[in-house]
A and B are shown apart, each in its own frame.
Chain A
């Protein structure tokens, strides 16, 4: 094996493992997905100019491995455990909205300044991962199926056994949780605009 390639793989392995763990919430399943990805990568004969395109390629293999694992897992777990998250709202909406459905005074969303600049900072992505990790497991799974693995809501319903409207509720809750976390932990900003 090309020693440079081996060095690259070793350097990227932690990134791959974190990516898989976030989505699978299961250390050994994540380990399996990464092992299989590395195996597939070593068997491939692609050449890469730089590490970032190599990482992109590895992540795309890993995404497929994760999808396979999720599909096999979903047959076993699914709807019942998703329902457990149902109450796992952490009372977030009560914290954010008044009874009439308007934003609480100190909860009104701020404008996020220059997100593209944030995207270039490693620290932003550490916060992003922490916020994802903070979501309830099943909520996070549905969200990541949608946003990282490219499922549409019909496919998510089919895979997880939840209804379409339930799927929208779960996705909404995930987005609300994530943006609230990112706003507090990263984009802490210029006061609340009110409504």
Chain B
């Protein structure tokens, strides 16, 4: 079972490389039972969206 700390590492890396099957399954199991890491994953995608917007000059 992944710890939250390990899960956050994978949630960062999934933004940069395809995770292995084992990593994907491990992460899926972890977020199923961990609300905090589910939120962390949402934050990673918000961060990515914010960066897209900022990096393309689309900020108000």
Name A residues whose Cβ lies closer than 8 Å to a Cβ of B.
15, 19, 52, 55-60, 63, 93, 97, 100-103, 108-112, 115, 119-122, 125, 128, 146-150, 152-153, 167-168, 171-172, 175-176, 178-179, 182-183, 192-195
Of A108, A147, A152, the residue contacting B48 (CB under 8 A) is: A147
Instruction: Report A-chain residues with C-beta under 8 Å of the C-beta of B42.
Output: 111-112
Is the C-beta of B36 less than 8 angstroms from some C-beta in chain A?
yes
Instruction: Report A-chain residues with C-beta under 8 Å of the C-beta of B37.
Output: 109, 195
The prevalent SS among residues of B at the interface is helix
Q: How far is the CA of A15 from the CA of B24 in the complex (A)?
A: 40
Q: How far is the CA of A167 from the CA of B33 in the complex (A)?
A: 29
Nearest opposing residue in chain A for B2, CB measure: A101
Q: How far is the CA of A138 from the CA of B52 in the complex (A)?
A: 20
Quick check: A178 and B36 within 8 Å, CB to CB?
A: no
Q: How far is the CA of A119 from the CA of B51 in the complex (A)?
A: 11
Smallest CB separation, A70 vs chain B (Å): 14
Quick check: B56 and A59 within 8 Å, CB to CB?
A: yes
A-B CB pair tally, cutoff 8 Å: 115
Quick check: A147 and B51 within 8 Å, CB to CB?
A: yes
Query: Beyond A59-B57, A101-B4, is A109–B47 a contact (Cβ under 8 Å)?
Result: no
Instruction: Report A-chain residues with C-beta under 8 Å of the C-beta of B58.
Output: 52, 56
Of B5, B17, B43, B60, the residue contacting A122 (CB under 8 A) is: B60
Instruction: Report A-chain residues with C-beta under 8 Å of the C-beta of B40.
Output: 109, 179
Instruction: Report A-chain residues with C-beta under 8 Å of the C-beta of B39.
Output: 108-112, 193
Interface contacts beyond A19-B57, A112-B42, A176-B8: sample of 8 additional A-B pairs, CB < 8 Å, sorted by A = A97-B3, A122-B60, A147-B52, A148-B55, A153-B17, A168-B16, A172-B9, A175-B47
Quick check: A97 and B5 within 8 Å, CB to CB?
A: yes
